[in-house]
Amino acid sequence: MRVLGIEGTAWAASAAYFDSATDEVFIESDPYQPDSGGIHPREAAEHMSEAIPQVIEWALSEAESVDAVAFSRGPGLGPCLRIVASAARALAQSLDVPLVGVNHMVAHLEIGRHRSGFANPVCLNASGANAHVLGYHNGRYQVLGETMDTGVGNALDKFARHLDWGHPGGPKVEDRAKNGEYVDLPYVVKGMDFSFSGIMSAAKDAVDSGERIEDVCFALQENVFSMLTEVSERALSLTGSDELVLGGGVGQNARLRGMLETMCEARDASFYAPEPRFLRDNAGMIAVLGAEMAAAGDTLAIEESRVDSDFRPDQVEVTWRGGESVSKRVETGSDVAGAEATVELGDVVRKRRHARAYRHPTLDARLRHERTASEARLTSLARRAGVPTPVVRDVDLREGTLVLEHVGRADLSADLAPERVRELGTHLATLHRNGIVHGDPTPRNARLSEDRLYCIDFGLGYHTDELEDHAMDVHVFERALSGTATDFEACREAFEAGYREAGDPAVLDQLREIEGRGRYR
């Protein structure tokens, strides 16, 4: 299959020629560079209009023949997407070949899967306008976690603009961070979701109050990339996967790649980051995925080829893959390696939050102390509120160690039946009614016995009566459920029925509002 791919979601006008027989990819790109500030949609569209014909001509000069034309259908800036789509339609008609519409974010994942040879990896996408963790399950790429506000690249760009640095800001932050030292900044992880708005505001304030720019850049990278690495490890732990690929332009940052590689080595997992030309926005990934889609017969009629600036990866019906799932049965023995701790199972449970080598030691010590204290306190408070939890036998905050009662025979992930999921919905509602947010309610953090379900691992928990926080707690569970349950809809209905029975229905109304936001753009 020989495919001409065209990319133009925001700043990069790009065309590529891919021949699946040789696996060779020829890419030509002409990126838009604003004079100052960030990307201006009108200027980006003007650049796209001028550059797209030229890059297509260059790519075609490498093509012996073309079997299909693929284009980035979204997400992205509407004016840019429409220019690219128009060019793709015209080219497909003139060559009399099929037209393929590609989701830009799925292409970031698929190029990593294609180049690595991994069978079914978890993918971290870290790009300008997006940040999320994906895994293939039930015929789609499920979003296991994502930013709650802005994309990681855009967040770094906003900080850089505050310092009057040009676009893109990420490389400039990376360069200044080389001579920095750690200063304290916020760190926000909720299950496998994360937030950048608070840390960016704090970083701007730190610079304005006289902190060295190099130190703030260093701490900014340490915290932001540690958040991304942590949620990637949580996704590996949740699914049981031992493969991780990185996608997106921010993936060119050496510190981020180093953190992910260190984390994967510690978990005995395989890590792959594509070469830089496939990380930044490029038509090569569009052509490669376009070839797979065309071979599967997943093509578009001209009248069906409208672009979608909010095109989420979990909206894509994956036609080019089989029925395999990223989620595997997680075997448990005497020792269990979780996302941030090792658990020794015996007459009692000994849980130790080991130092994470990928994190800066100061940040790591803070998080281990805070989360161990939170887990001990909230486990006991939840028990008093009527939610089954293990009894806390001993706590050592200095070592980050807990000794707890051994409860249950297996994690809920081993038996995701609707009736057991319904029970967890009741427990979560009871927690919220008592002002407790679990923080990481996944099937791995509930334990089954013959007659009851226990809630465990409150390390990310906190106290709040805010409706939004309770709804986000529910959202975290349903996101994890979507990537692991065989019958997701039946389990979700049962979970929400249990929640409604014991909790405030307004939380589920707020959940629907959260789902409709499409957090990342």
Total-model pTM: 0.94
Domain ranges of the chain: 2-111+278-314, 116-273, 330-521
- In the chain the first and final C-alpha atoms are separated, in Å, by 32
Mean pLDDT in residue range 252-269? 97
347 burial type by CB count under 10 A (0-12 exposed, 13-18 middle, 19+ buried):
exposed
Domain made up of 116-273: CATH architecture? 2-Layer Sandwich (3.30)
CB distance 275 to 252 below 8 Å: no
pLDDT tens, residue by residue, 413-444: 988 999 999 999 999 999 999 999 999 999 99
49 burial type by CB count under 10 A (0-12 exposed, 13-18 middle, 19+ buried):
middle
What's the pLDDT at 521? Answer: 38
Residues of 406-433 as b/e, b for ≥16 C-beta within 10 angstroms?
Answer: ebbeebbbbebbbebbbbbbbbbbbbbb
| DSSP category for residue 386 | T
Residue 520 — very low, low, confident or very high, per pLDDT cuts 50/70/90? Answer: very low
Q: Decide if domain 2-111+278-314 falls under CATH 3.30.420.40.
A: yes
Q: Return the amino acid letter for 498.
A: G
| DSSP category for residue 76 | S
pLDDT tens, residue by residue, 463-519: 999 999 999 999 999 999 999 999 999 999 999 999 999 999 999 999 999 887 754
Q: Which residues are marked as active site?
A: 440
Mean pLDDT in residue range 284-291? 98
| DSSP category for residue 390 | P
- Percentage of the chain lying above the pLDDT 70 cut: 97
Beta strands in 163-219 (DSSP E): 189-190, 193-194
**Assigned CATH class of 330-521:** mainly alpha
Q: Same CATH topology for 116-273 and 330-521?
A: no
What's the pLDDT at 487? Answer: 93
